[in-house]
Amino acid sequence: MLAMQAIFPFSLLMLQPATSLKLNVTAISARAGSSTLECWQMDQPFNTSSQPGTAGTAQAPLGSVSSLAYSILPSNFDGGIHNAPQNQWVVFLAGLAYITLPDDNTTSAYVTGGQFGLIFVADTKKISKRGHRTQYPGHHRDRCLADSDVGRPSP
């Protein structure tokens, strides 16, 4: 009986938000040829996984991925001003990234590696003349995963 009581409210908690909660991500996009920092909400809400191993838990679909790379960046690395090579998810696993915009000195973002380390980068050459700058001011080496050629979530 004790175990039943523990499990029942827990599964209610898992299933309720799964019907409507939507994932928000920091996105680097562009307007009028200049890169922007925006907060985007995914079109698809979290739904309930039916995959063995995570079945019954909340899952936000992120689309298909055609390739994936694991990068190790030295401390104080400066990625310079650059465009996204294509629409891509970047997941910072550790460390700290500092994103600035060459055409807008009023906006910047710190992204901490870990739980909140997911961003979407979409300021390709097609839509942004100069792109954005990413610096890594942390004392530790940064690690990130970047994929390429994914679909684009909606702003």
Ligand X SMILES: *[C@@H]1O[C@H](CO)[C@@H](O)[C@H](O)[C@H]1NC(C)=O
Beta carbon nearer to ligand X, 48 or 135: 48
**Residue among 22 and 133 whose Cβ is closer to ligand X:** 22
Backbone angles phi, psi at 83, to 5 degrees: -95, 155
Of 29-37, 39-47, 64-72, 114-122, the window that binds ligand X (rule: CB under 6 A) is 39-47
Binding mask 76-115 for ligand X (x = CB under 6 A): -----------------------------x----------
- Could you say which of 34, 44, 57, 86 contacts ligand X (CB under 6 A)? 44
CB nearer to ligand X: give 23 or 146. Answer: 23
Q: What is the DSSP pairing of strand 118-121 with strand 24-31?
A: parallel
**Residue 48 Cβ, how far from ligand X at the closest point, in Å?**
5
Q: Does 45 bind ligand X (CB under 6 A)?
A: no
48: contact with ligand X by CB under 6 A: yes
Instruction: Count the alpha carbons within 13 Å of 151 in the hemisphere toward its beta carbon.
Output: 9
Nearer to ligand X, 61 or 79 (CB): 61
Binding site for ligand X (CB under 6 A): 21-24, 41, 44, 47-48, 50, 61, 105
